Amino acid sequence: MTTSDAPDESARVAALRAGTALYTAGEFHAAHDPWEAVWLDLKDAVAAGDAPESVVRDEALFHGLIQFTAARHHARDRNWSGAVGLAESAREYLADIPEEYRGVDVTGARDALARLAADPERVERGPAPSLRYEGGRIAPESLSLAAAGLAAEALAAEHGLDADAVADAARFAREEERAGRSRFAALLFDLLRVDTPQERRLVYDRLSGLVEQERRKEEDVKGLF
């Protein structure tokens, strides 16, 4: 991969915001999915050589955030050694990133990682450290449609739902947006907002039903040619 193949600015921002929103919602494991998809391409661009500083720094940021949330996930599962190792590694990746970079409170993340590395069992005594973005917390309704699609797809995969159906829903939502409609978008955002497995399943069933309808329409159109 060449540097020119690295994810563009809009893709990096959408992935960053999607993962941060999932982390904020307590979906620590799912949060890494949007970040990892971008990080792998950034990693390849850096490995190709002669990557600009912005690409090198973004690669370190995404890598550090992936390990940040993985450390929290392992600690929640009482894998103390895994949590400590990842917390220390994440701090190393974030060590040379500015205090606030791409809206992320990197200093706060580094401090939280230091506390977790020193005492991983702290996760059982209090709430998870926040991952502040642009001075606050990211709510689902503040996401762009692109970011919401990434977050919803990761959430579906995490909870045993059909991520391909949700990915198609995001595609149909983008098509509807151009036509001034919002059925799919509304359900994608609902999927991110609900709090219980029962509510999530209800929204998913409605969303997947619409996806099947649109898929059949596409097949019908293909059959005409």
Q: DSSP code of 105?
A: E
One-letter amino acid for residue 175 of the chain = E
pLDDT of residue 224: 67
pLDDT of residue 33: 94
Cα–Cα distance measured from residue 25 to residue 126, given in angstroms and rounded to the nearest whole number = 16
Judged against a pLDDT cut of 90, whether residue 140 lies above it is answered with no
pLDDT, tens digit (0-9, with 9 covering 90-100), for 208-219: 999 999 999 988
Q: DSSP code of 194?
A: -
For the chain, percent of residues with pLDDT exceeding 70: 96
Mean pLDDT for the stretch of residues 9-15 = 93
Judged against a pLDDT cut of 60, whether residue 1 lies above it is answered with no
Cα–Cα distance measured from residue 188 to residue 204, given in angstroms and rounded to the nearest whole number = 9
Long-range contacts from 116-124, C-beta under 8 angstroms, 24+ separation: 116/71, 116/72, 116/75, 116/83, 116/84, 116/87, 117/84, 117/87, 117/88, 117/91, 120/75, 120/80, 120/83, 120/84, 120/87, 121/75, 121/80, 123/72, 123/75, 123/76, 123/83
Topology of the domain covering 3-124:
Hyaluronidase domain-like (1.10.3450)
Cβ-contact 39, 66 below 8 angstroms: yes
| Every domain of the chain and the residues it spans | 3-124, 140-223
Cα–Cα distance measured from residue 36 to residue 145, given in angstroms and rounded to the nearest whole number = 19
Q: Look over the chain and give the mean of its residue pLDDT values, rounded to a whole number.
A: 91
Mean pLDDT for the stretch of residues 124-148 = 88
* Residue from 219, 134, 97 nearest 168 by CA: 219
Residue of 209 and 182 predicted with greater confidence: 209
* Residue from 140, 143, 158 nearest 69 by CA: 158
Task: Indicate whether this model's pTM tops 0.85.
Answer: yes
pLDDT-based confidence at residue 187 (cuts at 50, 70, 90): very high
Cα–Cα distance measured from residue 222 to residue 116, given in angstroms and rounded to the nearest whole number = 54
Rounded to 5 degrees, φ, ψ at 169 are -60, -40
pLDDT-based confidence at residue 156 (cuts at 50, 70, 90): very high
pLDDT, tens digit (0-9, with 9 covering 90-100), for 51-75: 899 999 999 999 999 999 999 888 8
pLDDT-based confidence at residue 128 (cuts at 50, 70, 90): confident
Cα dihedral value 58, 70, 109, 87, nearest 10: -110
Cα–Cα distance measured from residue 222 to residue 225, given in angstroms and rounded to the nearest whole number = 6
Mean pLDDT for the stretch of residues 149-160 = 96
pLDDT of residue 123: 78
Cα–Cα distance measured from residue 175 to residue 204, given in angstroms and rounded to the nearest whole number = 19
